[in-house]
Amino acid sequence: MGERGVVVDNGRRRPTIEDVAAAAGVSRGTVSRVLNGGVNVSPTALAAVNKAIKQTGYVVNTHARSLVTQRSGSVAFILSEPQEKFFEDPNFQVLLRGCTQALAEHDMPLLLSIADSEQDVERVVRFISSGHIDGALLVSTHAGNPVFGRLASLGIPTVACGLPIGYERELAYVAVNDVEGARLATTHLARLARRRIATVTGPLDLSGGRERLKGYREGLEESGLTFDQNLVAHGDYTRISGQLAMERLLKQNPDLDAVFVASDLMALGAMDALDRAGRAVPGDVALVGFDDSPSASAARPALTTVRQPWKRICEEMVRLLLALLDGQDPAAVILPGQLVVRETA
């Protein structure tokens, strides 16, 4: 007891705004005004109402409010990725956590929707149409994802994480500057006097994959090195793909002395491969990853990588979504990546 605060239990019924009004000696309208920011309310009335709220233990009934405002005050976090990705890639968890936190600052709950099958997509779309949520935060790296189109055509305020390819105009989004980040990584390796710098790319049908490759080329050029197709291997952001790509690279280019890997997870795989091949990191081969996911700092040796400012990304996503809910037009935010030098390069 007592944990509940002072609760006047008048008949077991949850107190309504009317009860508060009666207790404060004012009208419903005044209480409502206090609840919604307290504009045009006299100090006397304000104090009385606040006291009455405490006394009665009143909590606003969100359903009644939503019914009239046509707003739920909640947003969906839609994860539209194959299940395995979700488990393997810590970035998703960082995003989930970050968005939950950023929304909590605005007292908005987050509804989690996972849509990794065709049928799930339908369920999620139906759910969204039912008025449960005001907007959506969409996480999907998968380019041809139908969810983008559905959300756009339904007119649901949506903020994507990463470029929503084909819907850059309709949907707001937050992305990091992949080209710039990859360029940073590559020039860093060059400055370390490495001359045979290879790269493991992400999937090239994804904007991130393409852009990071582009940044790698720019970085080479800037450093006076020439691009060599032999020094490029492709992965799919999984750890094992990084390992396999690295093995291919080593076989084709026994002389390589550095590698830029387009994700930390793949970088971990690449390190496995280097380890097995008996190449010391960074002694024989310097290595830079991308993402700065939790595992980057935990790895031994700790991974030098390009940091994606996750916290900032989440905050910007939420900010853009609130702006959208406020009636503003979809905007895009491109954030800079930042090189984090640790032990591998």
Contacts with DNA by CB under 7 A lie at: 13-14, 16-18, 25-33, 35-36, 40-42, 44-45, 58, 60-61, 64-65, 67-69
Q: Nearest-CA neighbor of 267 among 89, 86, 41, 145?
A: 89
CA dist 272 and 262 (Å) reads 16
**Which H or E run includes 330?**
none
CA dist 92 and 98 (Å) reads 10
Q: Is 154 in the site for a second copy (CB under 8 A)?
A: yes
Q: Is 10 in the site for a second copy (CB under 8 A)?
A: no
- Binding partner at 58 among a second copy, DNA, none, C-beta below 5 to 8 Å by kind: DNA
x/- contact string, 288-327, with a second copy (CB under 8 A)?
A: ------x---------------------------------
Contact 73, 62 (CB under 8 A): yes
Stretch that binds a second copy, among 39-47, 147-155, 185-193, 276-284 (CB under 8 A): 147-155
- The length of the chain in residues reads 345
Exposure string for 203-240, b = 16+ CB within 10 A, e = fewer: beebbbbbbbbebbbbbbeebebeeeeebbbbbbbbbe
Whichever of 12 and 251 has its CB closer to a second copy, that residue is 12
CB of 315 to DNA, least distance (A): 26
Q: Which residues pair with 234 in a beta bridge?
A: 201
CB of 116 to a second copy, least distance (A): 10
Local structure of 210: helix, strand or coil: helix
Residues within the interface to a second copy (CB under 8 A): 1, 3-4, 59-64, 66-67, 70, 72, 74, 77, 83, 86-88, 90, 93-94, 96-97, 100-101, 104, 107, 109-114, 120, 123, 126-127, 129-132, 149-150, 153-154, 294
